[in-house]
Amino acid sequence: MTQRESTHEVGRRLAPVALAATLVAVAASSILMAQARQSASAAPAVTFARDVAPIFQEKCEICHRAQGMAPMSLATFADVRPWARSIKAKVVDRQMPPWYVDKTVGIQKFANDRSLSDQQIETIAKWVDAGAPLGNAKDMPSPRQWPAGDVWQLESYFGRPPDIVVRSEEYTMPAVAQDRWWDTIGEPAIPEERWVAGTETRPALPSRKVVHHATTKLYQQEPKTDSTTRDDAAVADGNRGRSFSEWAVGKNGELYVEQEAGHLFRAGARIGWDVHISASGKDTPVVVETAFWFYPKGQPPKYRAQMTPLGYASSRNLEIPPGTISRQEGYQVMRSAAILMNFQPHMHMRGKAFSMEAIYPDGRVEMLNHVSQYAFNWHINYIYEKDSAPVLPKGTVIKVTAWHDNTAANRANPDPTQWVTFGQRSVDEMMHANAVIVPITDEDYERITAERKQRAMKAATQNQ
């Protein structure tokens, strides 16, 4: 460009070049958009038969099936289609399947995890948004075969029927009545000393409409000095009974064998239950039964398990004013090293959230698990996978924190104008975590933690 050339003349010369570049960019953008549209149209539409039915079989049918405990079946397209929009709403809000542990904090590996992955939730939502089509019926998976309601769920785990079943007498819950608590002892007695590898409690089928939960209790005399237990709390008065398992909506029993542990039954021991019952508008027979699978004779487990309601003592201090959200803490010191097999928060209608933390002897604090969306109708028992279960050194303090919502914003709140204190009724409150604790030696604690570190380092090396 000479000094005499004006800026206007330079712009005039470059204009065609700029125009050509713009046209090329527009054309390229159009091609990319067309390719994107073509790719999207080529992607197969989400259908019930191919995409959604397998999810429901895996995650939902355990309750949503004929003879299941849920109000409707989700086993066929005809069952599901009328509920499609409601299903999407519940799934996207993570209300269903019922799994309320916070996925952003704490331990996340559970043996009984029935929650949906983000991808599964997206699949269900897309299916509903597309009009909930059936698709090709040939894509339907084979119907899943479920055991009858009178078959014990742990039979498949142990590969055999239970070794003994203890059954209560029959009690009749009137059609109209306040909640009742029925204490009863079943038959038969335990004939000889045996170690329990697993146990499952359940109400009989008709009784499940009125039984809120049934706490299984062991009645036996324990010697004051018992070498099989490492915790004085395991020494029980045989006349009072000791809670060791439970049935509730979301929990069936315990698998002590997963941690080389068991429960010791002495000859002549009796099994009983504390049963919480609610009226259903119809006279209902109530029967509860518990099945036991034993270790082989002469082959006792390495550890003796015990059920402990962590934080229960603090429940008695609950005092929740009207229209408020309260916070209550409870603490328990581990007198020996121990394995925690599960996390099961327990509150009533005003329960809002619950957390369990470990305060280690060196001062470290670890959030083990947190439930931010507690639901009174589901007493979910979050069972840790064997290698993810917390292994705690002696002197660790377990801290549980419960939040209760006594405001009108809580849709489960029966009356936000009432002062609420501790009590057994659903309209009263509680706060504790039902935990199965396996006391271990300090040597075993060191061994288990060392083995876990080695496995973690090996896995990290393989992933590099």
Taking the CA of residue 314 as centre, how many other CA atoms within 13 Å lie in the half-sphere pointing to its CB?
Answer: 20
The DSSP bridge partners found for residue 370 are 355
pLDDT at residue number 222:
79
CA 188 to CA 141: how far, in whole Å? 44
Helix axes 118-129, 84-92, angle to 10 degrees: 150
CA 228 to CA 223: how far, in whole Å? 10
3-state secondary structure 43-68: CCCCCHHHHHHHHHHHHCCCCCCCCC
Cβ neighbour number for residue 204 with a 10 Å cutoff? 17
Helices and strands of the chain, counted as H and E runs? 8, 25
Q: Kindly tell me the burial class for residue 300, based on how many C-beta atoms sit within 10 Å of its own C-beta (0-12, 13-18, 19 or more).
A: middle
CA 186 to CA 6: how far, in whole Å? 106
Cβ 356 vs Cβ 368: under 8 Å? yes
- What is the architecture, at CATH level 2, of domain 154-302? Sandwich (2.60)
User: Can you list the alpha helix ranges (DSSP code H) found in 130-210?
Assistant: 155-158
Q: Which residues contact 254 (CB under 8 A, 6 or more apart)?
A: 198, 199, 244, 245, 305, 307, 341, 436
- Whether omega for the bond prior to residue 97 falls within 30 degrees of 0, making it cis, is yes
The DSSP bridge partners found for residue 351 are 404
Per CATH, 154-302 and 305-464 having the same topology is answered yes
Count of residues in the chain: 464
Cβ 365 vs Cβ 289: under 8 Å? no
pLDDT at residue number 219:
94
Cβ 375 vs Cβ 98: under 8 Å? yes
- 318, two tokens: 């609950």
pLDDT in tens, the chain (464 residues): 444 444 445 444 444 444 444 444 544 455 455 454 544 445 689 999 999 999 999 999 888 988 777 888 999 999 999 999 999 999 999 989 999 999 999 999 999 898 999 999 999 999 999 999 998 999 999 998 887 767 888 998 999 999 999 999 999 999 999 889 999 999 999 999 999 999 999 998 888 888 988 999 999 987 765 443 333 444 444 456 788 888 887 788 899 999 999 999 999 999 999 999 999 899 999 999 999 999 999 999 999 999 999 999 888 999 999 999 999 999 999 999 999 999 999 999 999 999 999 999 999 999 999 999 999 888 899 999 999 999 999 999 999 999 999 999 999 999 999 999 999 888 999 999 999 999 999 999 999 999 999 988 888 887 76
Three-state DSSP at 310 gives strand
For residue 38, give the H/E element and its range.
helix 7-42
Cβ neighbour number for residue 430 with a 10 Å cutoff? 22
Cα 265–152–307 angle (5° rounding)? Answer: 40
The DSSP bridge partners found for residue 219 are 270
Task: Enter the DSSP assignment of 268.
Answer: T
Nearest Cα neighbor of 430 from 367, 339, 344, 370 is 344
In the block, tokens 């109209």 appear at 176
Three-state DSSP at 461 gives helix
CA 286 to CA 271: how far, in whole Å? 17
Q: Which residues contact 227 (CB under 8 A, 6 or more apart)?
A: none
- 180, two tokens: 């009742």
Q: Which residues contact 394 (CB under 8 A, 6 or more apart)?
A: 334, 335, 336, 337, 361, 442, 445
Cβ neighbour number for residue 284 with a 10 Å cutoff? 20
Q: Kindly tell me the burial class for residue 428, based on how many C-beta atoms sit within 10 Å of its own C-beta (0-12, 13-18, 19 or more).
A: middle
Identity (one letter) of the amino acid at 111? A
**Rg of the chain over CA atoms, in angstroms?**
29
Q: Which residues contact 245 (CB under 8 A, 6 or more apart)?
A: 199, 201, 215, 216, 253, 254, 290, 307
| 305-464 placed in CATH 3.40.50.720 | no
CA 237 to CA 223: how far, in whole Å? 10
Nearest Cα neighbor of 206 from 133, 165, 122, 150 is 150
Cβ neighbour number for residue 135 with a 10 Å cutoff? 19
Can you give the pTM of this predicted structure?
A: 0.82
pLDDT at residue number 123:
95
CA 66 to CA 252: how far, in whole Å? 19
